[in-house]
Amino acid sequence: MDMNKTTHSGNRGLRFEEPLIFELDSPGATAVDIDPPGHNLDRLGGLRRAGDIGLPGLSEPEVVRHYTRLSQKNYSIDSGFYPLGSCTMKHNPRLNEKMARLPGLADIHPFQPVSTVQGALRLMDTLATWLKELTGLPAVALSPAAGAHGELCGLMAIRAAHQDHGQDLRTVVLVPESAHGTNPATAAICGYSVEAIPANASGRVDVDALKARLGPDVAAVMITNPNTCGLFETEARAIADAVHEAGAYFYMDGANFNAIVGRVTLAELGVDAMHINLHKTFSTPHGGGGPGAGPTVLSEALAAYAPVPFVVHDAKGMHLAEHAGAADAPDSFGRMKGFQGQFGVFVRALSYMLSLGKDGLRQASGDAVLNANYLRVRLSEELTFAFDGICMHEALFDDRFLKGTGVSTLDFAKAMIDEGFHPPTMYFPLVVHGALLMEPTETESKETLDQFCESVLALARKAKQGDQAEAFQAAPVLTPRRRLDETQAARKPVLRWKPEPLRQAAE
């Protein structure tokens, strides 16, 4: 096959070069016909915009083709295996999309009288019931918009509780070295200083080091469980007890909840707060970066501090507590999100939960862990598994198997792209050298996993030949673009299109 075959158009069969919308501009064109207003009376107070905005004009067929062609340059779960560790890229059922578009759920306004949205409140209440039941905790704040936002919700509730109890001197949050970057970033926004807790030789929190650091200045401990190495923190309960003993709270990062849904409750693990990524565990689509939702379950000790809004049962049915400090939310720490939370995401997640039921959720976590362990065992034939033993929903490999080959983790991952797979998470967690973190999820068939394993094993054997570094460093070669120059992008940032004269002036 001649990979370098050039064409007059620059296109290659089904692979199209696609300009920016600004380069497709046909001035005056539009894809939306709008009848002119019936009058031109103006009550703008002299603030009518002067001059053009500079938006391009395109017809509807041009717009549809533009985005269709761009979409074809994306890898997605719909098109292939996406074992991106810690991201839970599972199948996104289209039923969820259909439900979110029911006019009675999509076309409702956040400030309709509550008497006209009782169904929406009942839906939120039902979702809350599922989340509370699955975690065994008594309260849930639905409004956080994503995982990191949920972390902030949990820490703010913790801080409010400490303040309420006169514990203002607790200023430190302990976070394992292997944690997601959002954990320390969130603690900092909450006004806490962050101290790292080391991992032990088995890839889990060093409980002795943690216990030694606990004291009257510690406000909370944030632990991801299963952790970012894909391992269950077997000492979770002991950690929780020690944390409580020391007067602090136990925050569990629920990014990896998919591994344990239906198999253990957080109440059993002594958790005070945990966010749940509906866009991971409960199948709502990632959409190229979002939106998500990060409902945060809270223990009895923290429940009263939950942010507004939340659903309250009353004599007429349900209403929303919308004001922190009001009679229906006296101790709420405030509001985190405009309107009533990520309602459209709630609909999708509930649609998924109802589809699986408690039995299906348990089967899903079982299959997720089965798939990950299958990858662990099969790939260990050539790759080096980071920590021995059974893993949970994701399998963590390091780069020992590449030692002396001249091939880096990055090169290896890029070669997987040419094989038609999305690479695993690379270089995370930081506690492992050259990490490759693979999370297959439960929605992949054995055939897909086998094909992936055979391809990855073949790549590993190729790398180990010792003279293949250049080939790996050149990968990927079969993609719409080769490796991109990130140094240039960062040294001379070009973050938007500009008309040609401005662009030249800028250079």
Partner 1 sequence: MRYLPLTDADRSAMLATIGVSSIDDLFAELPPGKPDFDLPTRKTELDVERALQSFARQNMSCADVPSFLGAGNYRHHTPASLDHLIQRGEFLTAYTPYQPEISQGTLQTIYEFQSQVALITGMEIANASMYDGATACAEAAAMACRVTKRNTVLLSGSVHPHYRDVTETQLKHLDLDIECLAPDPMGIEDLIGRVDESLACVVVQNPGFFGHLRDYAALANACQSAGALLVVCVAEPVSLGLVTPPGAMGADIVVGEGQSLAGPASFGGPGVGLFATREKYIRQMPGRLCGETVDEDGQRGFVLTLSTREQHIRREKATSNICTNSGLIALAFSVHMTLLGEAGFTQLAEVNHANAVTLAERLEDIGGVRVLPSAFFNEFAVSLPKPAAEVVEALAEKRILCGVPASRFYPSCEELENVLLITATELTSHDDMDDLIAGLNQVL
Partner 2 sequence: MTDLRYTKEHEWIRVDGDTATVGITEYAQSQLGDIVFVEVPDPGKDVTKGGEAAVVESVKAASEVYAPASGTVIEGNAALVDAPDTVNSDPAGDGWFFKMTLKDASELDGLMDQGAYDTYLKDLDA
Name which of partner 1, partner 2, none residue 319 binds, using a CB cut-off of 5 to 8 Å depending on partner kind.
none
Token pair belonging to 351: 């649609």
Q: Is the Cα dihedral 128, 131, 135, 140 positive or negative? A: negative
Going by C-alpha positions, the residue among 409, 416, 404 that lies closest to residue 466 is 404
Total binding residues toward partner 2, as defined by CB under 8 A: 5
**Chosen from partner 2, partner 1, none, partner binding at 322 (C-beta under 5 to 8 Å by type):** partner 1
CB of 489 to partner 2, least distance (A): 8
Cα 350 to Cα 267: distance, rounded to the nearest angstrom:
22
Choose among partner 2, partner 1, none what residue 99 binds, the Cβ cut-off being 5 to 8 Å by kind. Answer: partner 1
**Measured distance CA(334)–CA(175) in Å, rounded:** 25
How far is 430 from 299, CA to CA, in rounded Å? Answer: 31
The answer to whether residues 209 and 376 touch, using CB atoms and an 8 Å cutoff, is: no
- Binding site partner of 43, from partner 1, partner 2, none, Cβ cut-off 5-8 A by kind: partner 1
Contact status: 487 vs partner 2 (CB under 8 A): yes
**CB of 138 vs partner 1, minimal distance in Å:** 14
Cα separations (Å) of 218 from 159, 170, 192, 303?
11, 5, 9, 20
* 18 sits near partner 1 (criterion: CB under 8 A): yes
Q: Does 33 bind partner 2 (CB under 8 A)?
A: no
- Structure-derived torsion over alpha carbons of residues 419, 421, 422, 425, reported in degrees to the nearest 10: -90
Site for partner 1 in 486-505 (CB under 8 A): 486, 488-490, 493-497
Pick one of partner 2, partner 1, none as the site partner of residue 338 (Cβ within 5 to 8 A by kind): partner 1
User: Could you say which of 491, 496, 501, 504 contacts partner 2 (CB under 8 A)?
Assistant: 491
SS3 call for 349: helix
Task: Tell me the number of residues near partner 1 by CB under 8 A.
Answer: 205
Q: Is 490 among the residues that bind partner 2 (CB under 8 A)?
A: yes
Is residue 247 a contact point for partner 1 (CB under 8 A)? no
Q: Is 275 exposed, middle or buried (0-12, 13-18, 19+ CB in 10 A)?
A: buried
The nearest distance, CB 224 to partner 2, in angstroms, is 22
Q: Is 507 in the site for partner 2 (CB under 8 A)?
A: no
Taking the C-alpha atoms of residue 494 and residue 504, their distance in angstroms, rounded to an integer, is 12
486 contributes a contact to partner 2 by CB under 8 A: yes
447 or 486, CB closer to partner 2?
A: 486
Q: How far is the CB of 374 from partner 1 (least distance, A)?
A: 5
Contact 61, 30 (CB under 8 A): no
Least separation in angstroms between residue 260's CB and partner 1 is 7
- Of 164, 354, 400, 403, the one binding partner 1 (CB under 8 A) is 354
Q: Which of 167, 373, 451, 455 binds partner 1 (CB under 8 A)?
A: 373
- What are residue 14's phi and psi, to 5 degrees? -80, -5
What would the two tokens of residue 278 be? 């509906």
User: What are the backbone angles phi and psi of residue 147, rounded to the nearest 5°?
Assistant: -60, -50
Pick one of partner 2, partner 1, none as the site partner of residue 326 (Cβ within 5 to 8 A by kind): partner 1
Name the phi and psi angles at 339, rounded to 5. 60, -140
201 binds partner 2 (CB under 8 A): no
Query: In the structure encoding, which two tokens stand for residue 55, read together?
Result: 């938006």
Strand order in the sheet with 436-438: 384-385, 395-398, 436-438, 425-426
222: tokens are 């944030």
Measured from the CB atom, is 339 or 403 closer to partner 1? Answer: 339
**CA 8, CA 217: separation in Å to the nearest integer?**
68
Please list the residues that pair with 224 across neighbouring strands: 253
Residue in 431, 438, 343 with CA at minimum distance from that of residue 383: 438
Site for partner 1 in 198-227 (CB under 8 A): none
Site for partner 1 contains 388 (CB under 8 A): no
242 binds partner 1 (CB under 8 A): no
- The reply to whether 133 sits near partner 1 by the rule CB under 8 A is yes
Query: Which of the ranges 111-119, 240-248, 399-407, 462-470 carries the binding residues for partner 1, by CB under 8 A?
Result: 111-119
What is the closest distance, in whole angstroms, from the C-beta atom of residue 225 to partner 1 in the complex? 10
CB of 100 to partner 2, least distance (A): 36
Using DSSP's 3-state secondary structure scheme, residue 412 falls into helix
If one asks whether residue 316 binds partner 2 (CB under 8 A), the answer comes out as no
Applying CB under 8 A, the span of 59-67, 297-305, 431-439, 454-462 interacting with partner 1 comes to: 59-67
Residues forming contacts to partner 2 in the complex (CB under 8 A) are 427, 486-487, 490-491
